[in-house]
């Protein structure tokens, strides 16, 4: 087949294409798509979900200035057109119809009009317009139901894929036609059962040995029974059954109707045809708080993302060329507003990005309709945020080389002598373990209490757990920081005792920023471990959920014990490192400890490196939070510091 360009248009010549080729408009549909939309609630639900979620985003117009910069255009002809495509037609209704038509027909048509010198777009239902003539690539023209002819350049035609041509799409409804027809026939059958079988509430049974009734006896009994049933027995009368007759109720079996299951199956199949996760349209059989939250997060990426990209590119290809000043201009759906997360998530991200608090006291008070206070216009810098050291209050596992260190020996005041209440490393570690284990047991006990004592269906455990998340993190961070600070001082004095007994130039307060950040890291990790385990119980929704939740609590307590030992080792090692740096020591030596040391730790026993370097296992010291988990959990090794000539 040959392709020929003539007068700027693409024509086709060759076998299989005749001059009388008629481009198909809408594929033949014995049951019109519009009627399916009106009569099938599942189709209407799914298409409505798509169109409403896309329409509510809004479209912004931009001009690209460079690969890294752009500007928002408010007065550009495209922005003005999208704001009001037709007089009285809002952007929401315009996009809603566009998405609905494409979802239902796989075609959307809009006629370009000039009103008062401005370009306008009139949406036309696909049942009222169709392409004619041309070839399998492009039609010759479009014609409305009233016989009005429009040239290709006057029509915006958005369509999907068809295996036979490039002119129009094939509706997804075609792939659902048999299923929808089956659902329609099933509904008719169920309605017939309700009209017939469901009306019969019981029957009268007369024993075979009863004497024959005369016509008069039959008439008399029929009238008696009819007078009773017509009145519904409301007057308190009692029917008289003769000759051993019995009344046997006949109940209609709802399971035979399969009403709910059939409708649910149809909705699942329709949602699958449009690539929509079932929980988003009300099918909650296997839904949990966790997976619904994740599916909502992916809604504008995986479900609606292809739709948004398609519509943006069609606007740029079919509408933008008719407008002035279109160089570098493009339209984009305002998906950023939906992807920003909750207010808490946005606030945390903003704090991390800016390196500290990002709102003043008075700005916060204004949001809560409170008057300004004196001195409330300056940003507060918390003590755990230092320029050039810890980047923000949310930083985790900071690099000790960049953390604020104590001054070198002789560079400043002497530290106070070692506090007597510090005790030994072993005693403080045991206290650390007892505190974290006790806190963990109380936290899980509170969840079990909140879940209730009845053995009924599993409650919303994730919601119960999330309700106290902020308080738990604050308590846990404080607990870890308190024990960690004491362990860091013990580690520091272990080094100072041999190299700088007076602690000249060293101060424990310099370690606070690092200790607080490390505590926050461990607190978040400990909390997240519990949340994931609880989510597993929620998803399984087993009958023995209470026993499973108790098992999760027991595992969390075991994890708390290991975390306390690891955190104690980490903070003690950091304290020794900080004191060694302040005392002018420049080398460190790995000393393997414990009954069953790891092979990697045993192999590096006696290894010596510069004080700011890492050992061969990737750690700066035992329990280093920047190392691999397998290298730090329950590590019992130690570090020696020395002064070597450089």
Residues 152 and 183 in one domain: yes
Q: What is the pLDDT of residue 92?
A: 93
Domain termination site, one of 534, 560, 584: 584
In angstroms, the CA 119 to CA 78 distance is 9
DSSP state of 421: G
Locus of tokens 């087993």:
542
pLDDT value of position 601: 77
Q: What is the pLDDT of residue 151?
A: 93
| Residue 496, φ and ψ in degrees, nearest 5 | -60, -35
**pLDDT given for residue 11 in this prediction:** 42
In a domain, 494, yes or no: yes
Let me know if residue 621 belongs to a domain.
yes
Is the full-model pTM beyond 0.75? Answer: no
* Whether residue 442 is found in the same domain as residue 373: no
In this predicted structure, what is the pLDDT of residue 17?
38
DSSP 70-132: EEEESSSHHHHHHH-SBTTB-HHHHHHHHHHHHHHHSEEEEEEEEETTEEEEEEE-GGGEEEE
Question: Do 53 and 170 reside in the same domain of the chain?
Answer: yes
Element (H, E) at 610: strand 608-610
Indicate whether 253 belongs to any domain.
no
Half-sphere exposure of 277 (CA within 13 A, CB side): 20
Instruction: Report yes or no on 269 lying in a domain.
Output: no
Query: Which two three-digit tokens encode residue 561?
Result: 């014990």
Residues 487, 601, single domain; the answer is no
Q: How far apart are CA 173 and CA 168, in angstroms?
A: 15
Q: 601 and 576, same structural domain?
A: no
Same domain as 482, residue 592? no
Environment class of residue 319 by beta-carbon count within 10 Å: exposed (0-12), middle (13-18) or buried (19+)? buried
Q: Among candidates 308, 298, 309, 260, which has minimal Cα distance to 276? A: 298
Residue whose C-alpha is closest to residue 415's, from 504, 509, 510:
504
Helix (H, G, I), strand (E, B) or coil at 533: helix
| H or E segment to which residue 249 belongs | strand 246-249
Eight-state DSSP code of residue 371: -
**Looking at 584, 599, 625, which one is the last position of a domain?**
584
The pLDDT of residue 51 is 92
Residue 87 neighbours by CB under 8 Å, 6+ apart: 115, 120
Q: Which residue has the tokens 């400043």?
A: 412
Q: Compute φ and ψ for 458, nearest 5 degrees.
A: -65, 130
Dist CA 125 CA 122 (whole Å): 10
**Could you tell me which residues come within 8 angstroms of residue 40 by beta carbon, excluding any fewer than 6 positions away?**
180, 183, 184, 266
Q: What is the mean pLDDT of each run of 10 residues along the chain (646 residues)?
A: 38 37 45 80 88 90 86 92 92 94 93 90 91 90 90 93 89 81 68 58 80 84 77 58 78 53 72 81 59 64 87 93 90 76 59 68 77 81 52 45 40 58 84 90 84 67 82 88 89 87 84 87 88 82 78 87 88 89 86 76 83 83 77 79 75
The contacts of residue 370 (CB under 8 Å, 6+ apart) are none
Whole-number CA gyration radius for the chain: 38
Helices 259-273 and 41-55 sit at what angle, rounded to 10 degrees?
40
**pLDDT score recorded for residue 242:** 77
Domain assignment present for 213: no
57 part of a folded domain: yes
Same domain assignment for residues 616 and 561: no
Structural domain including 345 reads 340-381
Domain final residue, candidates 566, 584, 602: 584
Which residues, including other chains, have CB under 8 Å from residue 430's CB and lie 6 or more apart? none
Same domain, 350 and 465: no
> Residue 204 has what DSSP assignment?
E
344 and 428 fall within a common domain: no
The reply to whether 362 falls in a domain is yes
Domain count, the chain: 4
- In-domain check, residue 17: yes
Same domain? 38 vs 93: yes
Q: Is 221 helix (H, G, I), strand (E, B) or coil?
A: helix
- Please check whether residues 40 and 164 belong to one and the same domain: yes
Q: In the numeric block, which tokens belong to residue 328?
A: 């570098």
**pLDDT confidence of residue 123:** 95
Find, among 560, 540, 574, the residue nearest to 634 by Cα.
560
Round to whole Å and give the CA distance between 101 and 173: 12
List CB contacts of 16: < 8 A, sequence separation 6 or more.
1
- The reply to whether 459 and 573 lie within a common domain is yes
């Amino acid at each position: 087949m040959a392709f020929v360009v003539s007068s700027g248009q693409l024509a086709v010549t060759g076998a299989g294409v005749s001059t009388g080729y008629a481009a198909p408009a809408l594929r033949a549909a014995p049951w019109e798509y519009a009627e399916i939309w009106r009569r099938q609630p599942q189709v209407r639900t799914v298409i409505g979900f798509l169109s409403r979620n896309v329409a509510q985003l809004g479209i912004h117009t931009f001009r690209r200035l460079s690969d890294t910069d752009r500007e928002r255009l408010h007065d550009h002809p495209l922005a003005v057109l999208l704001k009001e495509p037709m007089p009285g037609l809002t952007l929401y209704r315009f996009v809603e119809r566009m998405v609905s038509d494409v979802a239902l027909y796989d075609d959307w048509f809009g006629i370009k009009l000039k009103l008062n010198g401005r370009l306008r777009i009139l949406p036309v239902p696909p049942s009222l317009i169709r392409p004619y003539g041309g070839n399998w690539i492009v039609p010759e023209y479009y014609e409305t139901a009233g016989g009005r002819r429009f040239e290709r350049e006057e029509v915006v035609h958005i369509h999907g894929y068809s295996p036979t041509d490039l002119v129009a799409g094939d509706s997804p409804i075609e792939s659902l036609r048999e299923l929808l027809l089956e659902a329609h026939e099933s509904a008719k059958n169920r309605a017939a059962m309700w009209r017939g079988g469901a009306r019969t509430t019981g029957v009268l049974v007369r024993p075979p040995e009863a004497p024959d009734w005369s016509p008069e006896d039959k008439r008399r009994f029929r009238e008696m029974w009819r007078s009773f049933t017509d009145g519904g027995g409301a007057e308190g009368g009692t029917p008289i059954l003769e000759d051993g007759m019995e009344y046997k109720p006949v109940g209609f079996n709802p399971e035979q109707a399969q009403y709910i299951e059939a409708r649910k199956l149809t909705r699942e199949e329709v949602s699958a045809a449009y690539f929509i996760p079932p929980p988003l349209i009300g099918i909650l059989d296997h839904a949990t708080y966790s997976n619904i939250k994740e599916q909502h997060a992916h809604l504008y990426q995986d479900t609606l993302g292809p739709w948004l990209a398609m519509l943006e590119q069609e606007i740029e290809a079919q509408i933008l060329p008719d407008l002035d000043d279109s160089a570098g201009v493009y339209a984009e759906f305002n998906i950023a507003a939906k992807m920003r997360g909750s207010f808490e998530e946005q606030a945390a991200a903003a704090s991390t990005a800016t390196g500290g608090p990002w709102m003043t006291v008075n700005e916060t008070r204004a949001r809560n309709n409170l008057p300004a206070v004196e001195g409330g216009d300056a940003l507060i810098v918390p003590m755990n945020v230092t320029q050039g050291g810890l980047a923000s209050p949310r930083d985790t596992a900071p690099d000790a080389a960049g953390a604020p260190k104590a001054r070198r020996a002789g560079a400043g005041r002497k530290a106070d002598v070692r506090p007597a209440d510090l005790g030994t490393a072993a005693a403080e570690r045991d206290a650390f373990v007892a505190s974290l284990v006790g806190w963990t047991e109380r936290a899980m006990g509170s969840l079990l209490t909140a879940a209730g004592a009845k053995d009924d269906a599993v409650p919303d455990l994730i919601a119960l757990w999330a309700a106290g998340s902020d308080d738990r993190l604050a308590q846990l961070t404080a607990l870890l920081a308190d024990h960690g600070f004491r362990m860091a001082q013990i580690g520091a004095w272990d080094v100072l005792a041999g190299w700088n007994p007076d602690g000249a130039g060293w101060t424990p307060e310099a370690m606070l920023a690092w200790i607080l950040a490390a505590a926050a890291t461990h607190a978040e990790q400990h909390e997240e471990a519990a949340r994931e385990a609880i989510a597993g119980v929620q998803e399984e929704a087993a009958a023995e959920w209470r026993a499973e939740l108790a098992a999760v609590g027991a595992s969390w307590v075991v994890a708390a014990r290991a975390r306390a030992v690891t955190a104690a080792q980490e903070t003690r090692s950091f304290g020794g490192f900080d004191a060694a740096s302040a005392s002018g020591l420049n080398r460190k030596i790995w000393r393997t400890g414990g009954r069953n040391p790891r092979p990697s730790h045993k192999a590096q026993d006696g290894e010596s490196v510069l004080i700011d370097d890492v050992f061969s296992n990737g750690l700066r010291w035992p329990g280093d939070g920047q190392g691999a988990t397998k290298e730090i959990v329950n590590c019992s090794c130690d570090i020696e510091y020395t002064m070597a000539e450089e």
